[in-house]
Amino acid sequence: RHKFWETQPVGQFKDLGDSSLPEGPIEQPTPLSEVKQEPYNLPTPYEWITCDMDSDEMSNEVYTLLTNNYVEDDESMFRFNYSKEFLLWALRPPGYYRSWHIGVRVKSSKKLVAFITGVPAKIRVRDSVVVMAEVNFLCVHKKLRSKRLAPVMIKEVTRRVHLENIWQAAYTAGVVLPTPVTTCQYWHRSLNPKKLIDVGFSRLGARMTMSRTIKLYKLSDQTATPGFRKMEPHDVPAVTRLLRNYLKLFVVAPDFDENDVEHWLLPKENVVDSYLVESPETHEITDFCSFYTLPSSILGNQNHSSLKAAYSYYNVSTKTPLLQLMNDALIVAKKNDFDVFNALDVMHNETFLKELKFGPGDGKLHYYLYNYRLKHVLRPSELGLVLL
């Protein structure tokens, strides 16, 4: 069934019921001198490159490859269109390794035809904080699919991660592989229902007219929570404390320090937005919400070429009800011209999705760990991790 994945240190389907297997690393680290020193062989027309994302030319090539060849929905109506600024943010967090930004070029033409990346992250699994690679942006040009390039790329990123003495990874995919830590459902909240219907992202419900639908999704034009404002640089210590405390509730979650919070959560225009509630009386930071900007190209529509989507990121409520906090997030997203607000059923998201008129999408997202076994599959609400 999975000729490649069967050879890898990941939970295997046949072991799913077997609770005699211990939790934790599947394989032990080897001495770095025993890690393969040369890159894996590619078919002769191709060569490895390390992508210098600081170079405008290189980051443009990566952007173009992904824009034309990255993830689509099951009917190929939409394709993720990560912006260049987003890619630079996603790929250069604190402590990143340039050697983990891996491209494949055609030797003769120098054309970039495949890509895979890792970035370092500390991820807590139950009581253990594990340094991992978060692997993302695996992409093979449409013309080179099904030639078993992906396994070579995965082995090469694994080798380069091992060279940094890191032995675990976390990743997500829309496809089922051996074996998910959990499987999450995508939910969508219409902000611009007419456009969503016009482009085929959503449909007019039964016994619904366009004007009733527009009314159904109408939002207040002002946020409701006193002290709700955009996060600023001086908030980093308070937000870090709030978030660290909240993420303790989940079985798998990032272990963010202040540098991570500054990178991943300080607002960056057209990339990531964060808001918080500062108590008007005590000036305490009591609540927090964030979302990232990931547009999709609309494939083959006469009137629209891009769908502007916000993706729920990390949210924490201690005083403001989560429902009210997220309604305020919807209001600011709508004000900033997003067409749709997406969320997974992770953390406490189930408590607001239905009430705030999110509906389930046709997509699922499977979460995976490499070289780390969990005894049981998690519920999505036990997961405190959002990958980009």
Chain positions contacting ligand JJ1, by CB under 6 A: 71, 73-75, 77, 136, 172-174, 186, 188, 190, 201-202, 359, 361-363, 365, 387
State which residue, 42 or 71, has the beta carbon closest to ligand JJ1: 71
First to last CA, the chain: 28
- Pure H helices in 82-203: 84-91, 149-162, 193-198
- Residue 242 interacts, among ligand MYA, ligand JJ1, none and using kind-specific CB cut-offs from 5 to 8 Å, with none
In degrees, rounded to 5, the angle at the alpha carbon of residue 100 between the alpha carbons of residues 98 and 104 is 105
- Residue 24 interacts, among ligand JJ1, ligand MYA, none and using kind-specific CB cut-offs from 5 to 8 Å, with none
Q: Which of 112, 130, 139, 272 touches ligand MYA by CB under 6 A?
A: 139
CB of 88 to ligand JJ1, least distance (A): 17
Residues noted as catalytic: 388
- Residue closest to 294 by CA, chosen among 67, 121, 55, 59: 67
Calculate the dihedral angle through the C-alpha atoms of 377, 381, 382, 386, rounding to the nearest 10 degrees.
Answer: 100
State which residue, 2 or 110, has the beta carbon closest to ligand JJ1: 2
- Residue closest to 27 by CA, chosen among 317, 371, 311: 371
Under the binding rule (CB under 6 A), the answer on residue 3 touching ligand MYA is yes
Under the binding rule (CB under 6 A), the answer on residue 169 touching ligand MYA is yes
- Residue closest to 183 by CA, chosen among 309, 322, 360, 6: 360
- Residue 157 interacts, among ligand MYA, ligand JJ1, none and using kind-specific CB cut-offs from 5 to 8 Å, with ligand MYA
Under the binding rule (CB under 6 A), the answer on residue 70 touching ligand MYA is yes
How large is the angle between the packed helices 236-247 and 258-265, nearest 10 degrees?
100
Rounded Cα–Cα distance for residues 135 and 79 (Å): 19
Under the binding rule (CB under 6 A), the answer on residue 145 touching ligand MYA is yes
Under the binding rule (CB under 6 A), the answer on residue 148 touching ligand MYA is yes
Under the binding rule (CB under 6 A), the answer on residue 5 touching ligand MYA is yes
Under the binding rule (CB under 6 A), the answer on residue 135 touching ligand MYA is yes
State which residue, 67 or 202, has the beta carbon closest to ligand MYA: 67
Under the binding rule (CB under 6 A), the answer on residue 151 touching ligand MYA is yes
Residue 99 falls in which region: left (phi positive, over 0), alpha (psi -120 to 50) or beta: alpha
User: Coil, strand, or helix at residue 320?
Assistant: coil
Interacting residue ranges for ligand MYA, rule: CB under 6 A: 2-5, 69-71, 133, 135-140, 145-151, 154, 157-158, 161, 167-169, 171, 173, 175, 177, 370-371
